[in-house]
Chains A and B, each alone.
Chain A
Amino acid sequence: EAGVAQSPRYKIIEKRQSVAFWCNPISGHATLYWYQQILGQGPKLLIQFQNNGVVDDSQLPKDRFSAERLKGVDSTLKIQPAKLEDSAVYLCASSFFPSGSTDTQYFGPGTRLTVL
Chain B
Amino acid sequence: GENVEQHPSTLSVQEGDSAVIKCTYSDSASNYFPWYKQELGKRPQLIIDIRSNVGEKKDQRIAVTLNKTAKHFSLHITETQPEDSAVYFCAASINQGGKLIFGQGTELSVKP
Contacts and interface: CB of A to CB of B under 8 A. Distances in A.
B5 to A, nearest CB: 11
Nearest to A109: B43
Interface string A55-86: 11000000000000000000000000000000
Interface string A33-57: 1000000111111001000000110
B104 to A, nearest CB: 6
A12 to B, nearest CB: 16
Nearest to A45: B99
Interface stretch (B61-69, B72-80, B90-98): B90-98
Contact of A100 (B46, B93, B96, B104): B96
Size range of the chain A interface in the assembly: 20 to 34
Contacts of A87: none
A43 B103 CA distance: 8
Contacts of A55: 97-98
A114 interface: no
B93 to A, nearest CB: 5
Interface of B: 4, 6, 31-32, 34, 36, 42-46, 49, 51, 89, 91, 93, 95-105
Given A41-B105, A102-B93, 10 more contacts: A33-B100, A42-B4, A42-B89, A42-B102, A42-B103, A102-B98, A104-B34, A105-B98, A108-B43, A110-B43
Interface of A: 4, 31, 33, 40-45, 48, 55-56, 91, 95, 97, 100-110
